[in-house]
Amino acid sequence: MSIIEYFILKKEFLIEMSYEDSLKKLTTKASGFTVEEMHYGKCKIVSDFSIGTAIFNNYKSIPISTKLSLLFINSSSVKVSLKTEPRIEIFIIMVIWVVLIFVQLISAENIPWWVTLILFPTIFLYFHQVYRSQEKSLHQKVENHLKS
């Protein structure tokens, strides 16, 4: 498993309905998420509520989201694939962490080692867990909506 795969959540399941019915079901309003960019059986699902997400571009946050694709299996069955993308906030924390380690090694700056050995890994793990739990919740909401 690569380092990038650690930050990606994947889920697949089958639904017992036609491909056309599954597309219609996706376009009906569901509680907790919104469907965006629908085309050719692929879309982006965005959570209606996200905690701890970064704010860019005039205070617009980047919400928790997942990519959904529908695969026709037969006339009464569709395979649904959900896949998240790595969060930019996690990579920003990692870059700051690496820069801080580099600064500690080559400069005379007096930055305590506990900051790089304990604080940044704790921040990293905390935010990864917050995002992962929200992504799992979003996947479960989508699955429940399509199977209802």
For residue 10, pLDDT beyond 90 = yes
Token duo for residue 113: 């080692």
Can you give the C-alpha Rg of the chain in angstroms? 19
pTM (two decimals): 0.84
Bridge partners for 65 per DSSP:
46
Query: What's the pLDDT tens digit per position in 45-55?
Result: 998 888 776 65
Give the mean pLDDT of 89-107: 84
Q: Is 74 left (phi over 0), alpha (psi -120 to 50) or beta?
A: beta
7/22 Cα distance (integer angstroms): 28
Angle at 120 between CA 119 and CA 122, to 5 degrees: 65
Distance of CA 67 to the CA centre of its chain: 9
Is 70 exceeded by the pLDDT of residue 18?
A: yes
Amino acid type, 88? I
Q: Quote the CA–CA distance of 125 and 133 in Å, as a whole number.
A: 12
pLDDT in tens, 42-78: 999 998 888 776 655 555 677 889 999 999 999 899 9
Contact present, 26 and 35 (Cβ < 8 Å): yes
**pLDDT of amino acid 9:** 92
Q: By the 8 A CB rule, do 128 and 90 touch?
A: yes
